[in-house]
Structure 1
């Protein structure tokens, strides 16, 4: 950005975005990336890229509405983005659980998407992974989702959860160790 000294944190960008169009555009681009990564992970079992895109768009609109009144209060702006994304995802997930949406037109060509069998296998594996993840404490589960599945850095995860980077690393290490133990127990049960 030419007119701005390239702020690194979302909080700095949010402070500048109320008065600087370039900062606002950069803020929205980064918020969209963060929200889209997280939404893709959380909505993966629904197989709905369009829904993830919609969530990211709604998060951007919420952030854009909040920018004019944003004040730094000691809480990372990433935590606000994470909280808004979580709420939007909950709305989308509730709607997705209600049932399928009607299709307006009949397709003109053969559907190249995965077969029902492949989809069932992927969903079964995803369900098994989610089942194992559900056995972790909430904080460890969120850290794994943000770090491993969404691909956030340790610093980004720490900012989003309001934790230190060291605490994130320790919790991630413990969560992965617990998952290894759970998988070994599961495999031992399948063999016997």
Structure 2
């Protein structure tokens, strides 16, 4: 559970002041929330629960401005993507999940993941 949460939070939040400390703290908070949620969870694969809680925790605790900052790092461009495309990029590239696992987490088909990833990459290339 820990490495996946840390990779996800680092991919979503990026480095702050040349370190991942803030992202690691958010991952730790998400881990605590997962431990609280597990006993009563019956909504599908554990990886889906992990993603839902990590995404919500990052959204709540990330103090980034609402508009995307200028720059070329992936983490700076991600907020400009639609939520599904952003989630797919973070799960596929930042966390290293397969297309099938990403589809399982997001409750969509692998084909939808591939199409949305292609769209996200096209958008990101246009922003660079």
TM-score bin (small chain): 0.7 to 0.9
Q: Distance in 1 between matches of 2:24 and 2:37?
A: 20
Deviations 1:86-134 (A, max 9, x none): 222123312x76xxxxxxxxxxxxxxxxxxxxxxxxx732289617x61
Matched pairs, number = 123
Q: Distance in 1 between matches of 2:60 and 2:91?
A: 19
Q: Which of 130, 135, 142 is residue 77 of structure 2 equivalent to?
A: 130
Q: Does 1:146 align with 2:115?
A: no
Match of 1:162 in 2: 107
Q: Do the aligned residues in 2 keep the contact of 1:155 with 1:165 (CA within 8 Å)?
A: yes
Distance 1:124 1:170, change over 3 A: closer
TM-score in terms of structure 1 length: 0.53
Q: Which of 16, 26, 30 is residue 59 of structure 1 equivalent to?
A: 30
SS in 2 for 1:143: helix
Which protein has the larger Cα radius of gyration, Structure 1 or Structure 2? 1
Question: How far has the Cα of 1:63 moved from its partner?
Answer: 1.8
Q: In angstroms, what is the RMSD of aligned CA positions?
A: 2.8
Q: Do the aligned residues in 2 keep the contact of 1:45 with 1:126 (CA within 8 Å)?
A: no
Q: Distance in 2 between matches of 1:137 and 1:66?
A: 27
Q: Does 1:87 align with 2:56?
A: yes
Identify unmatched segments of 5+ residues in structure 2.
none
Q: Distance in 1 between matches of 2:115 and 2:77?
A: 21
Match of 2:6 in 1: 36
Q: Which has the higher contact order (CA 8 A, sep 6+)?
A: 2
Q: Do the aligned residues in 1 keep the contact of 2:9 with 2:27 (CA within 8 Å)?
A: yes
Q: Do the aligned residues in 1 keep the contact of 2:5 with 2:30 (CA within 8 Å)?
A: yes
Question: How far has the Cα of 1:139 moved from its partner?
Answer: 1.5
TM-score in terms of structure 2 length: 0.74
Deviations 1:131-157 (A, max 9, x none): 7x61x4332222122212332221221
